[in-house]
Structure 1
Amino acid sequence: MGRGRHAGYDGQRELIFAQAAALFARGGYPGTSMNQVAQACGLSKATLYHYYRDKYELLVNIAEGHVTRLQGIVDEALAQESAPAGQLRRLIRRLVEEYANAQDAHRVLTEDVKFLADADRERILGKEREVVAAFAQVVAALRPDLQQAAMSKPLTMLLFGMVNWLFTWMKPEGRLDYDAMAPVVTDLFLGGLQSVSAPAACAAA
């Protein structure tokens, strides 16, 4: 009988996952070694291989884990809201929250997926396409007239671009946090500039 996993096994895997994602995000998948991952985790290389077979397994776990969480967010949001406007607000709020806490994994998904083997890349990108399609269906429900013009997906990609861009300029410790900005993104997308209200932090200032 094989030895069972110790109590902290899953926690250690999560630590390695997070450190590897940070290293891949900063230096790219090809430019990161398992030695660097082990050092960042305070582990020997031999111990690291006890948790992950190789660097490629880490890449798959990071990319697929992130997109699987996004799928869960979509399923939860659509189940909790019945009206399309409410669904979109919840989807955007949860998307902003997830991206705020998983910027490294998101960068790996967008930048390093090209290093995956064909079958793994297609499976992971298929999940990503499902997330985009779910958003697009909500957009189409809000503006069915645009669906016939094939505008639902382009508008959805513009929305994703707006959310992604937040993390290139916004500082979590700044006056505006992600909780404040999620409604702004939604209002701007749904109603244009005239529909945006200043977050409380800005109004107080």
Structure 2
Amino acid sequence: MARPRAADFEEKQAHILDSAAAVFAELGMDKASMSQIARECGVSKALLYHYYPSKDALIFAIIDTHVSHLDDAVIAADDPDLPPGERLERLVRAVLETYRGADNAHKVQLNAFGVLSEAQRAQLRDTEKRIVARFSSVLKELNPQLGEPGTHLLTPVTMSLFGMLNWVYTWFKEDGPITREDYARVATKIILDGVGGVNGRH
């Protein structure tokens, strides 16, 4: 018979993932050990292995949880009834809000993909593709030429937007002169002003 979960299982799990992400972000995937992570979490090594049987499993859980939270936030924020410009800004804001307090997990996502198995990478790619596809559909609505056969422009434009968002953690300060909401408007404005001039002639 399966052992029942403790009432605080999910809370402990979240604490372990946050603490482990901090260790990985500081030391890197290769140098960080399960012993160091256990100390950072304030748990025994045996308990850490009870939750995650290997370092690779822990790394995958950090990334999978982070990407899943992003997917959920984007789904919740999306409103197809809005004008496409407003819809895009809501999606951008959802991404930036999900990144709040998640810098370490985000660094792990950007740097640890190579240590995962092909099955794990495939699972993460499926989630990432859903997120990207939602943004692509809005960009195509803003400029239908992006989706025309043979132009090959929809993916570059979409990923250019994610490039602006994914590296925010390197410069953004929560107590700085610009808020996340401010930057959501800036990033959206850059896309809105530029996307109309993108066509099949590049």
User: Please, what TM-score do these two structures have when normalized by structure 2?
Assistant: 0.87
C-alpha distance in 2, partners of 1:43/1:168? 30
Give the stretch that moved more between structures: 78-87 or 31-40: 78-87
Tell me which residue corresponds to 2:38: 38
Q: Deviations over 1:107-129 (max 9, x none)?
A: 21121011111111112122212
Q: Is contact 1:89-1:186 (8 Å) kept?
A: yes
User: Gapped runs of 5+ residues in structure 2?
Assistant: 195-202
Tell me which residue corresponds to 1:159: 161
* TM superposition shift of 1:47: 2.2
**Cα 1:12–1:141 shift into 2, 3 Å:** same
**1:180-191 pair list within 5 angstroms:** 180-191=182-193
C-alpha distance in 2, partners of 1:175/1:120? 39
Q: Which amino acid aligns with 1:75?
A: I
**1:1-205 pair list within 5 angstroms:** 1-79=1-79, 81-148=81-148, 149-191=151-193
* TM superposition shift of 1:101: 2.6
CA RMSD of aligned residues (A): 1.8
C-alpha distance in 2, partners of 1:32/1:145? 47
* TM superposition shift of 1:3: 4.1
Q: Name the SS for the 2:174 alignment partner.
A: coil
Give the stretch that moved more between structures: 80-89 or 42-51: 80-89
Q: Which amino acid aligns with 2:175?
A: E
Q: Name the SS for the 1:100 alignment partner.
A: coil
C-alpha distance in 1, partners of 2:167/2:48? 34
C-alpha distance in 1, partners of 2:155/2:32? 35
C-alpha distance in 1, partners of 2:47/2:31? 21
C-alpha distance in 2, partners of 1:134/1:80? 10
User: Please, what TM-score do these two structures have when normalized by structure 1?
Assistant: 0.85
What count of residue pairs does the alignment treat as equivalent? 192
Greater fraction helix: 1
User: Gapped runs of 5+ residues in structure 1?
Assistant: 193-205
* TM superposition shift of 1:57: 1.5
Q: Is contact 1:71-1:131 (8 Å) kept?
A: yes
Give the stretch that moved more between structures: 158-167 or 32-41: 158-167
C-alpha distance in 1, partners of 2:90/2:139? 13
**Cα 1:16–1:99 shift into 2, 3 Å:** same
C-alpha distance in 1, partners of 2:77/2:152? 24
